Amino acid sequence: MSKPIIATASLAGCFGCHMSILDIDDRILKLIELVDFNKSPITDIKEFSQRCNIGIIEGGCCNTENVEVLKEFRDKCDILISLGECAIMGGLPALRNGIPVKECLDEAYCDGITVGENKEKIMPNDEELPIILDKVYPLHEIVKVDYYLPGCPPRADLIWEAVVALVTGDELKIPYELVKFD
């Protein structure tokens, strides 16, 4: 019998949620007995090679590349999990949502105190660069999301309990202690 397949990705965020996945510590060895990983920075597999049972995504969508990755995950994964506050609500990257994109770019590349020697006020302009969106979008505003695991980052035990329940077919019961922040 084949093992369930998991894929993971990080969009507009800090990669802290993936660090929480790694914080399951020695349970990662138990997880590897339960699942196979496909596209994931955990395994450095960069492309999908097959359909996945579970897709876990951290970070929101701040540019066109993020949207493409998210839509590919929704298309290639049976279950999609929003992992962490950036994926669920936009998180810290969404602090720019009240500022026009042009103003953000001007500050980053032309007018900011850390810009340095860009006297010509040249903006990055290469066709390979993704286009910045008008705001940072949480995942559920772009695709259907099946589960939400909150936290910044979510606790390793929360991730462990959720993933194990999903891959073993058990009921997903998350004790309050794993999601409380007080």
Query: Which CATH number fits the domain that encloses residue 35?
Result: 3.40.50.700
Residue 141 lies in a domain: yes
Q: Model's pTM, two decimal places? A: 0.91
The DSSP string of 25-67 is TTHHHHHHHH-EE-SBTTTTB-S--S-EEEEEEESBEEEHHHH
Residue 114 lies in a domain: no
The domain in which residue 148 lies consists of 5-94+136-178
Q: What is the mean pLDDT of each run of 10 residues along the chain (182 residues)?
A: 93 94 92 94 92 97 98 98 97 95 92 84 91 97 96 94 93 80 66
User: Tokens 């339960």 belong to which residue?
Assistant: 34
- Determine the 3-state secondary structure of 117 from DSSP: coil
* Residue 182: per-residue pLDDT: 63
Q: Where are the alpha helices (H) located in the chain, listed in sequence order?
A: 16-22, 27-34, 64-76, 85-89, 101-106, 156-168
Question: What's the structural domain count of the chain?
Answer: 1
* Residue 118: per-residue pLDDT: 82
Residue 126 lies in a domain: no
Relative to beta strand 132-137, strand 61-63 is antiparallel
Residue 98 DSSP class: G
Residue 125 lies in a domain: no
